[in-house]
Amino acid sequence: MSRLQSTFARLRAEHRLAVIAYLTVGYPRLELTPTLVEAAAAAGADAVELGIPFSDPLADGRTIQAASQLALKNGVTVARALEVAKAARQQTEIPLLFMTYLNPILAYGLERFCRAAHDAGIDGLIVPDLPASESSDLRIAADASGIDLVFFVAPTSQEAAIEAACQAANGFIYCIAVTGVTGARAQLDPGLLPLIETVRRHTTLPVVVGFGISRPEHLKALAGKADGVIVASALLDAIARSPDDPATRVREFLTGLRPPP
């Protein structure tokens, strides 16, 4: 089993929801990212998603766009993100994923990128602008390098698209909790639970919910229904409030996110 698969299997046996923390590589400063990964793991994150900044992040809201722009100003490239991932892997054994858009991967080279990601200790890859129906080349490259792929489904997805995503993925299925771009929200979309039920009909892979996850109440509502959550914008917002001590903010936020048993 891959590191991702074994983590979800363990959490399922423990009846626990996985918490995946999203960090933008190079935000607030490039040299801090491995430290923030370590802080997230120490605070109970079950995996970390590392966002490689891109100049045109169509799926991302204001918070992640702002973090990505600062990271780009800080000199983050795909090559530097790979170096950061390798350094982060030395700090923790929890699964690490890359999230990036297709253009940076193509510019680096599909096979070269997947090999380098694997060598850096990356376990999974999320590419929000790559439909499952157009992913065969990346799937071949990722499979050859032992990288799990994750695909998105949304409350607006047609069942055929959901089925295609489930057939193409081998890491988990990323269920978008809201309609629109990323960003912390107060309420979950009423279409989310029916979406999870539809996904379950097409796959036995873990189902993870992201976009808008920001409160312990969200985790409580999803317990027993999803296998995990991704917290992104709310965590970056917390870092933004204390850029001089982001590791403390990461620990405090993630520790407070899990509802009491």
Closest CA to 59 of 188, 171, 151: 151
Closest-CA residue to 58 (of 129, 135, 161): 129
Comparing CA positions, the residue from 201, 219, 197, 202 lying closest to residue 210 is 219
Q: At what angle do helices 159-168 and 192-202 cross, to 10 degrees?
A: 50
Respond yes or no: is residue 148 known to be catalytic: no
Separation CA 94–CA 149 (nearest Å)? 17
Positive or negative CA dihedral for 27, 31, 34, 35? negative
Active-site annotation holder among 49, 123, 189, 227: 49
SS3 of 172-239: the string is CEEEECCCCCCCCCCCCCCCHHHHHHHHHHHCCCCEEEECCCCCHHHHHHHCCCCCEEEECHHHHHHH
Residue 247 and residue 39 in contact, taking contact as beta carbons nearer than 8 Å: yes
Alpha carbons 101 and 194: distance in angstroms, whole number? 28
Question: Which residue out of 38, 46, 60, 123 is catalytically annotated?
Answer: 60
- The verdict on whether 60 is a catalytic residue reads yes
Catalytic residues: 49, 60
